[in-house]
Homo-oligomer: A and B are copies of this chain.
């Protein structure tokens, strides 16, 4: 029945509501790094050329496109990224992660991953974690298609 489907959705909402503020606080206390910054830096670091345009960043990151502009401003003010113009298309603006940004990301990664491990993964068997990842991956694939 879809009853278990609704239960799964409700559990997802509750886990998100309880865990995101928790991990955010832990990360900010240990590294002075908001979760939003971490997400943006992570995407930039794994991008080809370590840079992305604002639109690409908004599409791939969790935050909205309009918010990306301000977050990049803050990151640039802290020297973690640089704003660069695209000579081929002067409308677009690239955000490139700096070496200082990569250093902050490397310092923050074990804190964030450790928090996920302690509060999330530790409660799951390997099979359950795999099942959750594949199931939610299907949902994401369907959402991208529409």
Contact = CB atoms under 8 A, between A and B. Distances in A.
Per DSSP, chain A at the interface is helix
B12 A140 contact: no
Nearest to A126: B4
A133 interface: yes
Nearest to A112: B6
Copies in the complex: 2
B140 A8 contact: no
Interface of A: 1-2, 4-9, 11-20, 62, 113, 116-117, 119-124, 126, 128-143
Contact of A119 (B121, B141, B142): B142
Contacts of A6: 113, 116, 121
Q: Which 5 A-B pairs have the closest CB atoms?
A: A5-B121, A11-B136, A8-B133, A128-B135, A8-B132
B14 A133 contact: no
A132 B124 contact: no
A130 B119 CA distance: 21
